[in-house]
Amino acid sequence: MTLQLSDQLKFGVQTMHRRTEPATGLWLPDAEDGRAMVEMVDRLGYDSLWVGDHLSFAIPILDPFIQLAQAAAYSSRLELGVGVYLLPLRHPGPVAKQVATLDHLSNGRLILGVGVGGEFKTDFQVAGVDPAERGARLTEGIEVMRKLWSGDAVAHQGKHFSFPELTMSPPARQVDGPPIWCGGRSAAALRRAGEIADGWLSYVVTPQMYGDSMARIQDAAAGGPDRPFGTGHLLFATVDDTYESALDKATETLSVRYAMDFREAAKKYCALGRPQDVAERLLEFHAAGVRHIIMDFVGPYEDRDRQFVRFAEEVLPLMQDLR
């Protein structure tokens, strides 16, 4: 059995609405900021736009499905992805309805990344979910959603979720539903990706770690039929005139986001420095099997637009042969 990777390398952007009100210092969502962001990403030639998911996080964050519904109205071209949705925190029935709706509103451009979470205990506290159950809830939740997306009369009797025969209509727009890319780095997560997922979406790994993980995913998929398989990676990056300047900016932003000193991790996991330095890092991930690189530009918020533009104008041309 072979997992079939795409021949094309795609680039997306991970983003979120975030605006600070100068008079009060309070964070406020901003619809016009969201529109401008999507239109800029589309205009600069990126392939996709992604958002993350948390219920209770170290910094403000909005609901991913509502953000992507807004984005779908502002761009008719960009693929839209969640990287990743913490499915174990929710009942998969209502989630299946939301995802099918978004699949229609986006004309079938949705990629659903899912993961178990666990780095932030407050996510589970507010949802009232036992973190020890998160892996089992994710696996069963995927099964439930795929059943409901079919539009057929289906029933389910599982450990965590049960319902009698019923129909959810309309079915998802994409046949069999949006592709589900599983996240995670643990042995269980990699096995799950190989056995039941349509792709794997990683973050905070090196190219070497990515390649090793893909080998384990391939082993888990052995014995099943050949199938297309998406390979994504969320990559923190800062394009700057020097490596040290880029490292300082990335460290400051990521240390706040994850409530820890991120400097050593930034050296290991980020793409930092001049355009050619960042491009070299991208090539390493491509060689490891990544076919959809999702850029999360880190640094001062006021520098955000410049990062988008600089990457598009100075780094993407260096990758043209692979696109």
As a whole number of angstroms, the distance between CA 204 and CA 209 comes to 10
Q: What are the C-alpha distances in Å from 211 to residues 100, 188, 237, 278, 290?
A: 32, 17, 20, 19, 9
Task: Tell me the pLDDT tens digit for each residue of 261-307.
Answer: 999 999 999 999 999 999 999 999 999 999 999 999 998 877 889 99
Q: Is the dihedral of CA 110, 19, 120, 308 positive or negative?
A: positive
| pTM passes above 0.75 | yes
- The domain locations on the chain are 3-322
As a whole number of angstroms, the distance between CA 290 and CA 281 comes to 12
As a whole number of angstroms, the distance between CA 301 and CA 140 comes to 38
Q: Residue with structure tokens 């991120």?
A: 262
As a whole number of angstroms, the distance between CA 90 and CA 246 comes to 37
Q: What is the per-residue DSSP string for 30-86?
A: -HHHHHHHHHHHHHTT-SEEEE---SS-SS----HHHHHHHHHHH-SSSEEEEEEE-
What pLDDT, on the 0 to 100 scale, is given for residue 57?
87
Question: Which CATH number is 3-322 given?
Answer: 3.20.20.30
- The structure tokens listed for 151 are 């539009």
Task: Tell me the pLDDT tens digit for each residue of 34-81.
Answer: 899 999 999 999 999 999 999 998 778 899 999 999 999 999 999 999
**146: confidence class by pLDDT, cuts 50, 70, 90:** very high
Is the Cβ–Cβ distance between 124 and 117 less than 8 Å? yes
Measured in whole angstroms, how far is the alpha carbon of residue 19 from the centre of its chain? 22
Looking at the chain, how many residues does it have?
323
Rounded to a whole number of angstroms, the CA Rg of the chain reads: 19
What pLDDT, on the 0 to 100 scale, is given for residue 1?
61
Given a cut of 60, whether residue 243 has pLDDT beyond it is: yes
Given a cut of 60, whether residue 18 has pLDDT beyond it is: no
Mean pLDDT estimate for the chain: 94
What totals of helices (H) and strands (E) does the chain contain, helices first? 11, 15
183-187: average pLDDT:
96
Instruction: Label the pairing between strands 162-166 and 27-28.
Output: unpaired
